[in-house]
Structure 1
Amino acid sequence: MSVSSSDTTTATTARKAAPQLRSGRIVSIDVFRALTVLVMIVVNQWGGVQGLPTWMKHMPADADAMSFVDVVFPAFLFIVGMSIPFALQQRQALGDSWWQRQSHVLQRALGLIMIGVFMVNAEDGYHSASMLLPIAAWALLSYLAAFLIWGSVSAGPALSMLWRVTGIGLLLVLALLYHGGSEGQDGLTPQWWGILGLIGWAYLIACICFQLCRGRLPLLLFCIALCIAYFVAYRNPEIAAHPMLAMLFSQPGHFSHAALVLCGCSTALIFFDQAVQRNSGQRFAAAIVFALVLALIAAVMRPEYKISKIYASPSWVLYSAATCVLIFCALYRWIDVRGNALLPKLLAPVAANPLLAYLIPFILGAALQLGNLSLPAILNRPVPGVLFALGFALALAWLVKQIAKSGIRLRI
């Protein structure tokens, strides 16, 4: 059967339309991930320090303002998005079918959501008198269960099915043992999902969008617009007055966070999609234009939708995304283009084990609580508190490196 020239042209165009990500690791993405995790740990430690200036704190929900602290969580969502095109392309190259890729995405999302829910219930909402275990012991057992399900030793594959089933069973038991509410009448609830839970939902929505769009940049930009439009619809009084529509548009935060992840996906395509013929200068220019457009749209929307991390408002999303694009531009130029190797070497263990690095402070906190121990009160003062947080992050980076050397992994 002969193939016409028009059919050949159509097939060639389709192939060109599909993204072709550059092979190999992008060191600046790893550095951005590691820096974000460490800064997140620092600002979490600052949470208990008294007398810090405003720019070192989260802004109140209704302040119509943001500090650099309010960009840390968006930066993590953004870097999750930058990794998605590479991860999905790699799985496809390894021969994973469409269903296998969806299964992998769903398992990762559910894992993050599950850990997030357990963490947030350990932080707040529990009823101590009704619990059979101290909440600190309950939290430590939930981290143990997470390791049994998603951990590995000796740098090998995941633990055997027996251990994984044991971890799942332990989580189920812990869920049954949990009591919350004013009188212990409630069980485990999502609450606000926790940071990891929010990341899980945003990752799931963004992966669905990316695959439906087949990684095409114009369609991804349209999906970002749809996520922002979802928030706008949620705030519309007519929609709020209609029960079915109100329920349909009841998750504005998840779609706002997904917009940040999709901005990361888009930035990855701008820089690394080899199907689009651009030189390095043109890619940098396109990324800067992207950041400026995001900031301009944020400025236009801000009078109606005030900046708020707590409400996940469109202006906060777009300003944060614009900031992250510019930060990545600087890191990529400094590390990958100019070849600076010192920072990547120092941060490599955290970049390879971000979940472990994030969870260690919570594990240590639960252990201190279980032992009725606390940090010295002097660390609640500004100068000692700030210095301790910085030193703690450096010590944690060293600890993660030692754990990685032993072959222990925790990856979802």
Structure 2
Amino acid sequence: MTRITRRLASIDAFRAITMMLMIFVNDLILDIGVPDWLEHAREGEDRLGLADTVFPAFLFIVGLSIPLAIKAGHERGASRATTFWHILRRSFALLVMGFFLVNYEEFTKGPALVSAFGFLLIITIAFFFVWLVYPADWPLWRKWLFRGIGIAALIFMALIYKGGTPDHPMGLRTHWWGILGLIGWCYLTCALLYFIIGDRMPLLSFFFLYFLAFSILAHTGEYSFLQYLSLGGSGGLSAFTMGGVVTTVFYQRMTGNGKASKGLLILAAWVPVLIAAGFLLRPYGGIAKLGVTPSWILICTGISVGCVAILGTIVDIKGKQDWYRLIRPAGTITLTCYLLPDIHFAILKLLGPAVELPEAIRTGWIGVAKSLLFAFLIVLLTGVFEKKKIRLSV
């Protein structure tokens, strides 16, 4: 039986769209008077904004990619030990980046030697030095020289960092793991589970429900005795990633049997089921990203499965790929794309108010158009980086 182990173009398309939306909604935070339905729901609100669907989609895409990446590695001759090490290395990189970026958010004007924006700029550039894919013809000493510069910069930033208040300063600590850190935990957990379980659908589905249960228990008062069994610290968020793993394994199985179109129809049929289940569980915390509620998890999983069914039909079955050509780099060197806005933001803040956009351009629908244009330009810049072979290995 033949199975697809190559990179699926539909997943790249889904990832590219999601990454562009992530940059868009992150930039919207800086705007004024934009429609509520585009933004994150506020704490205590029982609703779903567009921004609340983006991070779940990205976690789901991480899961979609796991079986393909591991199988592709095996086809290239990677041993199980090599695969295991790759999972640990990639997870560690995401956790380190998330850890530093979260502490930037807590940076104060204490006795540190650099400003918060200087800290953000230095650590982000250091990430590139440490995890850049260096040219194959570079000697090993030169690669490690540049990596060493990046590592030294991160160590120096850790030593001079001050958070908290001037009266009660504190060093680096895990306030929360940040977007990249949470992705790292979910990837670590679900990649290791797939590494052990393989394509056994019943077990993979069990773990999707297992992670969903953490969210349900958290809103029934029965969470405390199970909180240490979350297999990685991400709790219910891992349900998104495991849902992606299950989806790819099912899609591969149907494609291997020559039933790709039927497989996508079955996935589409699951969309209303997942969304309906989400609304049935709405009494347990409502639809709330900030609460990682079961309703939010199931509704967003349903949306992501629907996107797979639509994009799989358009891109994989019908072979139509040119429509997302300009934004494709966001789906292939995604982490590079994600970090570029931080460099842009830090530089603008360091330059001061003189380069700040007028309030009129940051307000209402004009602000929305500005943020959409900004996201598109970042993706185009990512394409330039891709052509120059500047990409991170994570």
TM-score, structure 1 as length reference:
0.88
> Which residue identity lines up with residue 196 of structure 2 in the other structure?
L
Alignment of 1:10-409 (within 5 A): 21-122=3-104, 124-153=105-134, 160-183=143-166, 185-237=169-221, 240=224, 245=225, 248=228, 254-273=234-253, 277=257, 279-373=259-353, 374-409=356-391
Q: Tell me if structure 2 keeps the 8 A contact 1:253–1:312.
A: no
> In 1, are the aligned partners of 2:189 and 2:232 still within 8 Å (CA)?
no
1: distance between equivalents of 2:315 and 2:217? 41
Cα distance in 2 for residues equivalent to 1:299 and 1:252:
27
Report the secondary structure of 2:169's partner residue. coil
SS in 1 for 2:163: coil
CA shift for structure 1 position 292: 3.3
Change (3 A) 1:193 1:49: same
SS in 2 for 1:160: helix
Contact conserved, 1:155 with 1:409, CA < 8 A, in 2? no
Larger Rg: 1
Instruction: From the superposition, tell whether residues 350 and 56 of structure 1 become closer, same or farther in structure 2 (CA, over 3 Å).
Output: same
Relative distance call for 1:28 and 1:101 in structure 2 (3 A) is same
Instruction: Give the TM-score normalised by structure 2.
Output: 0.91
Structure 1 residues 63-72 or 182-191, which shifts more? 182-191
How far does residue 407 in structure 1 lie from its aligned partner after superposition?
Answer: 1.9
Distance 2:40 2:58 in 1: 16
Paired amino acid for 1:229? A
Work out the CA distance in 1 between the residues paired with 2:147 and 2:254: 40
User: Do the aligned residues in 2 keep the contact of 1:154 with 1:408 (CA within 8 Å)?
Assistant: no
CA distance in 1, matches of 2:135, 2:58: 28
List runs of 5+ in structure 2 lacking aligned partners.
Answer: none
SS at match of 2:287: coil
Distance across 2 between alignment mates of 1:178 and 1:32: 37
| Percent of aligned pairs sharing the same letter | 31
Cα deviation, 1:269-326, whole Å, max 9, x if unaligned, reads 1212368635133202321233333223323322223211011111111110110111
Figure out how many residues of one structure are paired with residues of the other and give that number: 389
Cα distance in 1 between the residues matched to 2:222 and 2:271: 33
What's the offset of the Cα at 1:153? 4.7
Q: Is the 8 A contact 2:336 2:382 kept in 1?
A: yes
- Aligned partners of 1:259 and 1:317 also within 8 Å: yes
- Give distance in 1, aligned partners of 2:164 and 2:137: 42
CA distance in 2, matches of 1:65, 1:156: 53
Question: Aligned to 2:22, what secondary structure does the other structure show?
Answer: helix
Two-structure CA RMSD over aligned residues (Å): 2.3
